[in-house]
Structure formats: structure tokens, C-alpha cells
């Protein structure tokens, strides 16, 4: 079985996207939020069948862990009310995708974060998404200010109520920023990579997993710069008098395989322990084109794992076993299906 841990609804219906535009326009004008549009099942089916489902079938993936479009979370726009309305709408739409394609998708939620707001609404929406919608995890934005980093590190006790709920529900969080409103940082080319690397360093500096030994965090996009500079982080841990990374972080932190060339995947599987790597593609995401050097899509990451120098057991771990361990609610769903 091949489980893609990193999928976003980047092809959401235009009616949904237009409502977001209208919602923000109404907020800026001091007017009530307009009613959410009626989106038929056929519209949702078309948006999936012509895009994600087509590529999933062609590439041989079995199941995609699916969440709202990360770059559209837009936590820096509007206020807490606006973020809550948008998150509920996005999560409800993901639920409908899962209901229409239950063998292909399983949901992960967006949280209604907002700069300066506490995490009360995020905790409520996480609870709803897991217990009512059947979702198996959440995306956590470490920078709701959209590239300004006007928040505290992930190890700060500000985040602890949310971590407590993640642990209680036994679901992981993918640490994933949204769009950048800072012109110095291109969203997917710089802001995403910066955030992945920054999150790891924040965790290295603190002792979060001493307080939450069962908390599981996924750092996407291959862990940003971390695997490439693994010696730097091992050395920094030593300089900062922290334990070895193997025990300090790597029982709780995982990287995906959203790395878009063979040498990058080869480095990832060589440097990072197999148990910490989850297959992911983020297809129809940041990099959608065809690599002129290979003639294949950049984001067809299954090809890279297939060609990587790993054992059959290690490949199975990357493709499915590790995801089932990190997402126990997914494992439970699959076991109920005899898988």
C-alpha cells in the first residue's frame, strides 16, 4: 500500500475560492459575511477526478491524506472570526471529498489561527474535525502572521493547550505555514523552506518532547534544509548542551518526501533514519511542471522512492508503515477495512 501523507485541495471549486474573496471584502467593508455558496457533488467530483484522482491513478498511489490548500489558509488575513469561518468551510469541503472518494482520501484539518488570538478556537475546531468529521490530524501554522514571524517559538507554553489536545486525540500535526505577505520571502520557494528549517531549530533549542513524549510533528518538504545540514544541527545540539538528536527529537519529529529530484531523495534516505520518513508528494502543489531533464513531473516523488537505494522493508516503511504509525487513527481505519 502507498500512502501519500501530504495532499492539499489545490483544485477546490471556484465557488469556494470566490466566497473567500467575498468574505474578506465584506470584512474590510465592515459588512456581514455572505452566505456560503451551494456546491454540488458533481462540481467536487469534477475538481478531483480531472486532477488529483487522475494523477493518483497514473502514479500508483493508494491513499492520500488530504487537507485544505495550505497557501490559502491565510491566517494573517481578517481576524479570528474570519479565520474560523474560513477554516470551517474548508474542513467541511474536505469532508465532502472524503465522503465522495472514501477509498482514496482521508482528511486532515486546517486550524483557525489568527495573529494575537489564543488557541481556543483552534482547539475546538480540531476536536470537531477529529471526532465529528473523522479527520486524522491537523496542519499547524508556526507563523500565523504570514512571513513576519510575530509569534512565539513552537516550544513556548503558549502552544501547550493545543499540544495537549493533539495528544488527547492521538493525532499528529504537520507544521505547515501558509502564504507569505512579506515580499522578501517567496511563499513556496523561501517561506515554506524557512519555516521547515526554523521549526526544527526551535524544537532543537527546547525540551518540548520532555513535556509531551507522545506528541508527533511532521515537518514537510523533506525537512527544509535540515537533512542537507544534518551535521550542523548535530553540532548545534552538542554546543547547546542538548541530547543527541536521535533521542532529543527523532522519536517525535518526522519528515516527508516532498523533495523534487532524485539526488535530494537519495540524501534524505541516506541521512535520516528510515522510521522518520513518510512518503509525500504535495501533488498539484508548489511545483507542478515536468522536469526537462527526466521528462517526468517534478512532484512524482514515488519514482524517486522507487529508485532510492533502500531495502524492500525500508521502502515499505516509507510508503505506508511509517504513516500508519504516525497516524494511528488512519491505521485503525485501515485495519477495520482488513488492510
Catalytic residues: 282
Residue 252's CB is within 10 A of a number of other CB atoms, namely 18
List Cα–Cα distances, 277 to 166, 239, 338, in angstroms: 21, 26, 24
Report the distance separating Cα 16 and Cα 136, nearest Å: 23
> Residue 218 phi/psi, 5° resolution?
-105, 125
List Cα–Cα distances, 251 to 66, 116, 217, in angstroms: 24, 31, 10
Q: How many CA atoms lie within 13 A of 153 on its CB side?
A: 14
Specify whether the CB–CB gap between 187 and 150 falls below 8 A.
no
User: Is the sign of the CA dihedral 331, 335, 336, 338 positive or negative?
Assistant: positive
Report the distance separating Cα 279 and Cα 265, nearest Å: 11
Which residues lie across from 219 on neighbouring strands?
A: 255
Show the cell assigned to 37: 455558496
Amino acid at each position: 500500500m502507498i500512502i501519500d501523507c501530504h495532499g492539499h485541495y489545490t483544485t477546490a471549486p471556484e465557488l469556494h475560492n470566490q466566497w473567500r474573496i467575498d468574505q474578506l471584502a465584506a470584512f474590510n467593508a465592515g459588512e456581514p459575511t455572505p452566505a456560503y455558496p451551494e456546491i454540488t457533488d458533481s462540481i467536487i467530483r469534477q475538481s478531483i477526478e480531472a486532477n488529483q484522482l487522475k494523477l493518483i491513478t497514473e502514479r500508483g498511489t493508494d491513499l492520500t491524506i488530504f487537507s485544505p490548500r495550505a497557501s490559502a489558509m491565510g491566517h494573517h488575513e481578517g481576524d479570528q472570526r474570519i479565520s474560523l469561518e474560513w477554516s470551517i468551510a474548508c474542513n467541511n469541503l474536505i469532508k465532502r471529498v472524503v465522503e465522495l472518494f472514501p477509498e482514496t482520501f482521508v482528511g486532515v484539518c486546517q486550524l483557525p489561527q489568527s495573529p494575537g488570538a489564543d488557541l481556543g478556537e483552534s482547539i475546538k475546531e480540531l476536536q470537531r474535525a477529529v471526532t465529528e468529521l473523522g479527520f486524522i490530524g491537523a496542519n499547524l501554522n508556526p507563523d500565523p502572521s504570514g512571513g513576519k514571524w510575530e509569534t512565539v517559538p513552537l516550544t513556548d507554553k503558549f502552544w501547550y493547550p493545543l499540544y495537549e489536545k493533539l495528544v488527547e486525540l492521538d493525532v499528529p500535526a504537520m507544521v505547515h505555514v501558509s502564504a507569505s505577505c512579506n515580499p522578501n520571502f517567496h511563499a513556496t520557494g523561501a517561506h515554506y523552506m524557512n519555516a521547515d528549517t526554523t521549526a526544527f531549530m526551535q524544537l532543537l533549542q527546547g525540551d518540548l518532547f520532555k513535556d509531551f513524549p507522545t506528541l508527533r510533528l511532521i515537518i514537510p518538504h523533506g525537512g527544509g534544509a535540515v537533512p542537507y545540514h544534518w551535521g550542523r544541527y548535530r553540532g548545534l545540539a552538542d554546543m547547546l548542551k542538548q541530547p543527541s538528536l536521535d533521542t532529543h527529537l527523532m522519536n517525535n519529529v518526522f519528515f516527508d518526501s516532498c523533495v523534487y529530484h532524485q539526488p535530494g531523495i537519495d540524501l534524505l534516505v541516506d541521512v535520516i533514519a528510515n522510521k522518520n520518513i513518510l512518503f509525500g508528494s504535495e501533488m498539484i502543489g508548489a511545483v507542478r511542471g515536468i522536469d526537462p531533464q527526466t521528462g517526468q513531473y517534478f512532484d512524482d516523488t514515488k519514482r524517486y522512492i522507487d529508485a532510492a537505494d533502500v531495502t524492500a522493508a525500508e521502502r515499505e516503511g516509507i510508503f505506508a508503515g511509517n504513516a500508519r504509525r504516525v497516524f494511528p487513527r488512519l491505521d485503525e481505519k485501515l485495519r477495520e477495512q482488513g488492510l
